[in-house]
Amino acid sequence: MGEQVSPAVVAGREKPDVWGCVKCAQLGKTCCQQREIFVTAGDRERIAVHTGIRDFWEYRAPADPSYLDQDDDPVWLQSVFLPDGTRPVLTRKENGDCRFLGPAGCELPLEVRPLVCRLYPYEYTAVGIIGVSGDCPSQVVPPGSTILQVLNMRAADAVRWHRILYAELRAGKESFHDSGTHIRSAG
Ligand code: SF4
């Protein structure tokens, strides 16, 4: 499914052998530096309460048109996009990094991060979690381990976050219009 992104790992920098997102950052750009991050109305409210700011998102059309090819998840298609093809995403720094990516990883607490960030690298539809993305490079996973173990992801958390995500999606498009201060962009 479209724009999912891994939480940048903050632990492990002091270790000679690092794995997961820290290792990924050593190899090249991480998903926190490349992906457009969709934010639900709930995400926007949680982040606004935590940060005290509201200008951290904008409407933008997907840079990758293949993102619209999601016939397996009509709930996503119908709930995420406005009629003009845009959807609310986090703004990014000039270098393309997510605006919340700091030198030690994501600056947002786990339970405040966008739900799609928390769920990555799980793949899912409205029905439930259907697998794990193969996008993470194999070099970031030590022998005998899995990416979910490296990221310390618990299945129970993923199920809970998935339930919240789709509840917020189904809550309705009117929530997209809860702020008049955001930037609207066709980018
Ligand atoms: S909100 Fe955090 S985890 Fe999500 S893309 Fe930005 S830095 Fe990465």
Q: Ligand 1 centre and the CA of 8: distance in Å? A: 7
In a domain, 102, yes or no: yes
Joined tokens for residue 148: 């979910």
From 117, 135, 151, the mutation candidate for ligand 1 (largest count of ligand atoms within 8 A of CB) is 117
Domain ranges, residue 101:
20-174
How many domains are contained in the chain?
1
In a domain, 145, yes or no: yes
Residue in this structure with the two tokens 């926190």, named with its chain if needed: 32
Distance spanning both ends of the chain, measured CA to CA: 21
Q: Does 10 fall in a domain?
A: no
Query: For each successive 10 residues of the chain (187 residues), what is the average pLDDT?
Result: 41 60 84 92 97 97 80 89 94 95 93 96 94 87 88 93 96 49 28
Residue 14 lies in a domain: no
- Looking at the CA of residue 101, tell me the nearest atom of ligand 1: 7
pLDDT value of residue 16 = 55
Q: What string of H, E and C letters represents the secondary structure of 118-167?
A: HHCCEEECCCCEEEECCCCCHHHCCCCCCHHHHCCCCHHHHHHHHHHHHH
The helix/strand/coil state of 1 is coil
**Probe target for ligand 1 pocket from 6, 21, 32, with the most ligand atoms within 8 Å of CB:** 32
Instruction: Please report whether residue 130 resides in a domain.
Output: yes
* Confidence at residue 50, expressed as pLDDT on a 0 to 100 scale: 98
Structure confidence at residue 41 (pLDDT): 96
Does 6 map to a domain?
A: no
Residue 167 lies in a domain: yes
Residue 50 lies in a domain: yes
Dihedral, 134, 136, 138, 139 alpha carbons, nearest 10:
180
